[in-house]
Amino acid sequence: MNKFLLILFICIFSFKSFSNEVQILSESIGNGLEVKNHSKLSVHYIGKLENNTVFDSSYDRGRIFNFQIGVRQVILGWETGLLGMKEGGKRTIFIPYQLAYGETGAGSLIPPKSNLIFDIEVIKVIPPGYKEIDGYQLRLAMTDDFKIIDIRNDDQITNTNKIPGAIQITAFDKNGNFFPDFFEKYKENVQIGEKVIFISQNGDISSILANGFVEQLNQSNIYHLKGGVSGLEKTNFDFE
């Protein structure tokens, strides 16, 4: 359980650190599954400094690199720079040092404050273990045997809208601190194997929580609402 809380903390921190400064220099669109947050990827890549010095290459090692997006297994520039790619596609991205190895660099191969260039080829994409639904699918779920868990804090719920039939179990306070009693309240309301939809304000935190339940707690039938309550507010959704 402590390991899961640590992973959640890292993921939340990482998400808030995301930036739009990664540049796509060139791209060849693939035709397979698309890379989304929490996708598991198999890629080949070449890493270069700005002077084109190669510091790493999976091709040279003859070994594909496997990892999951969104859980800090790779540098932040990869977390955002690979989103939207597809199986069979190739992309060259420029990553500023702040989203790479920062002011310290990495060993003797990557000097401090090094901007990096990566040539990346996506070999395989495995979708996240949880399922992402939209507002229309949520309406259907409300007539079925889903448990809808609103994980927002009290301020968010008070200042926006409530979803009919949702169970409020706040996961994080407004400062991003995880509530340790979340799991106990969750177990009081949800039986193992039941279909669960996590809902947050914008959909980002609910996706992280859903991924943690699948990857760390081996739970099935886990869903999250894309765009969260903010997305529903742009539609004709009937709130409470």
Q: Where in the chain is the domain with CATH 3.10.50.40?
A: 17-126
How much of the chain, in percent, has pLDDT values that exceed 70? 92
pLDDT of 100 > 80? The answer is: yes
pLDDT value, residue 19:
45
What is the DSSP track for 159-180?
HS---TTPEE---B-TTSPBPT
Residue 20: band (very low, low, confident or very high) from pLDDT cuts 50, 70, 90: low
- What are the structure tokens assigned to 22, written together? 């990664």
- What are the structure tokens assigned to 202, written together? 């914008």
- What are the structure tokens assigned to 145, written together? 């045997």
How many other β-carbons are positioned within 10 Å of the β-carbon of residue 15? 18
For the segment 81-87, the average pLDDT, to the nearest whole number, is 95
Residue 5's φ and ψ, nearest 5 degrees, are -65, -40
In eight-state DSSP terms, residue 20 is S
Tokens 């903390």 belong to residue: 9
pLDDT digits (tens, 9 = 90+) for 164-179: 999 999 998 888 788 8
pLDDT digits (tens, 9 = 90+) for 25-38: 999 989 999 999 99
| Inter-residue contact 129 to 215 (CB < 8 Å) | yes
For the segment 216-220, the average pLDDT, to the nearest whole number, is 90
pTM: 0.82
As a whole number of angstroms, the distance between CA 83 and CA 74 comes to 13
pLDDT value, residue 176:
79
As a whole number of angstroms, the distance between CA 176 and CA 172 comes to 5
Q: Where in the chain is the domain with CATH 3.40.250.10?
A: 131-232
| Inter-residue contact 43 to 122 (CB < 8 Å) | yes
For the segment 103-119, the average pLDDT, to the nearest whole number, is 95
pLDDT value, residue 223:
97
Among 87-96, 168-177, 210-219, which stretch is predicted with the lowest mean pLDDT?
Answer: 168-177
- What are the structure tokens assigned to 240, written together? 């409470």
As a whole number of angstroms, the distance between CA 100 and CA 17 comes to 12
The CATH class of the 17-126 domain is alpha beta
Q: Return the CATH fold of 131-232.
A: Oxidized Rhodanese; domain 1 (3.40.250)
Cβ-based burial of 96 (10 A; exposed 0-12, middle 13-18, buried ≥19): middle
